[in-house]
Amino acid sequence: MTPLTRSRLTIMTVAAGGLLFFLHLLGVLSEAETWIMRKLSGQEAALSETAGSIRQTVGAPFRVGEIIKENERLRADNAARDVEIARLTSIREENDELRAILGFAEKRTTAPVVARVLARTPEAGTHTILLDRGSDDGVAVEMPVIAAGGVLIGKIFKVDRASSIALLLTDTRSRVGASVQNADRTQGLVQGERGLGLEMRLIPQNEEIRVGDLIVTSGIEPLTPQGLVLGRVEEVQTQEKNPFKKALIASPVAFDQVSVVAIPFP
Amino acid sequence: MLRALIVIALAFATAVFQASFLSHLPFPLSTISFPMLAVAYGIAHDRPLLAVGWALVAGATLDLHGMLGFGSEITALFAAFFGARFLFLRVLTNAGASARFLLAAAVAIVHWFTLAAIDGARVIFGAVPIIVDLSAASILAPLRQALVNGLLLLLVFAIESAARRRFSRTFLSHASSPHAFS
């Protein structure tokens, strides 16, 4: 190939990039893009799951001490939860009985969309996941994304027809209205801490919150229901002269190991 | 034609692998970028068509997975190609390891700044910022990517050079032997 031909071909390739962009803007590529994403979703979900298990397996030996401590804590939590479940079961039975007496019809809600995690988005420094469900499945921007156990892990940020991108709570740009399950029902704002964890801010200094308190969504955002679990208070940080204090929150979910999520409809 | 098809298939497959597999793994694996490596490799070997073709296919694939909208990765990779090629022809003119490392690092840095510029333009029109974030982790992200991809490019060249030495010794000794075809 002569240098001139090579230069021409290089320029043509760059021009092809421009052409692709304009065809995308005109919507001509929409069907093809949706088709590609649908075709890839199976393989990408499998790859994503494999990477998650490799990460977990390789990291496990380095976390033995942490795992033992976590196991002890979970055993203690489990015992406390059994007591709580017994209490709630009796309340539920009583509630059912009272509803029956009052003739309440059970509120029917649409089943949530279950989505698989296909990939992490390529932009460096962001904490997002690509899901295999899009607007064709009813997914919309700002909808909550929930992991196993009803734990909120993020919100839908961008939606295409066959896929969507969720901004994880750990991303610095993420903000969720939250409340503490304490006597005061303390309100605050949970936001990401540079991909490392979660922080609850704007907690008034006079409100009493303790390590271990459960943090749930306050339901202040229109599409996010109240009471979705965000995590438990790990540490409370108070600064003098600051009208607000902040709390570090430990989520029960490992954000980098999630492979299946649910998106509930409001 | 066959070579072009192989490059397209490889660029597509590695971009999917990068987004779905590598990005889930811990640092430094999560920061490996095959398109950036291909661009740097293409520049270093004076094969611009390979670099640009790879950038187009992998960029379009990554754009389907990205948050910045279609065209942003393609633009960033093209900008990285032209920026790094300019540096390679004017500044990093020796064939040493440091020049190659800096070439791959330059590709990563130009790529990030282009994405940040696109993001900045989006923010002007009222969108939520994605790349432009003044946290330490966000600022360190392109530097980490530059370091990893720079070292990886050196590794690619080392493997290539070792393979070439090995095979040239084998084939040249036979070819140069007067008894080779006797």
Type of residue at A45: A
- Report pLDDT for B180: 46
Nearest neighbour of B62 by CB, restricted to A21, A118, A122 = A122
Kindly report, residue by residue over B79-110, the tens digit of the pLDDT.
999 999 998 888 877 778 888 899 999 999 99
Q: Which residue of B has its CA nearest to A33?
A: B64
Q: What residues of A are in contact with residue B110 (Cβ under 8 Å)?
A: none
3-state secondary structure of A146: strand
Type of residue at B32: I
- Cβ contacts of residue A140 below 8 Å, gap of 6+? A156, A159, A223
> Which ipTM did the prediction report?
0.76
Put simply, the answer to whether B131 touches A126 (Cβ < 8 Å) is yes
- Residue A246's DSSP bridge partners are A237
Nearest neighbour of B24 by CB, restricted to A20, A48, A172 = A48
Identify the top-confidence range among A26-30, A195-199, B65-69, B155-159.
B155-159
Nearest neighbour of B49 by CB, restricted to A10, A52, A128 = A10
A99-108, A213-222, A226-235, B57-66: which has the minimum mean pLDDT? Answer: A99-108
Q: Is the pLDDT of residue A168 over 80?
A: yes
Put simply, the answer to whether A130 touches B65 (Cβ < 8 Å) is yes
What is the C-alpha separation between A147 and A125, in angstroms, rounded? 22
A95-99, B84-88, B119-123, B149-153: which has the minimum mean pLDDT? Answer: A95-99
3-state secondary structure of A236: strand
B155-180: average pLDDT: 70
Nearest to B131 by CA among B114, B148, B144, B146: B114
pLDDT band at A143 (very low <50, low <70, confident <90, very high): very high
C-alpha distances out from residue B158 to A111, A231, B96, B152, Å: 55, 48, 12, 10
Q: Are strands A144-147 and A151-159 parallel, antiparallel or unpaired?
A: antiparallel
Nearest neighbour of A256 by CB, restricted to B24, B112, B133 = B24
CA distance B100 to chain A (A): 22
Within 13 A of A106's CA, how many CA atoms are on the CB side?
Answer: 6
- Cβ contacts of residue B8 below 8 Å, gap of 6+? B53, B57
Beta-carbon neighbour count of residue A64 at 10 Å? Answer: 9
A104-116: average pLDDT: 71
Q: Are strands A198-204 and A187-192 parallel, antiparallel or unpaired?
A: antiparallel
pLDDT band at B124 (very low <50, low <70, confident <90, very high): confident
B interface test, pick of A4, A29, A123, A127 with most B CB neighbours within 10 Å: A123
Please state, for a pLDDT cut of 90, what percent of chain A lies above it. Answer: 5
Percentages (nearest 5) of helix, strand, coil residues in chain B:
80, 0, 20
Q: Is the pLDDT of residue B172 over 60?
A: no
Put simply, the answer to whether B49 touches A157 (Cβ < 8 Å) is no
Type of residue at B25: L
Residue corresponding to tokens 């949530």:
A112
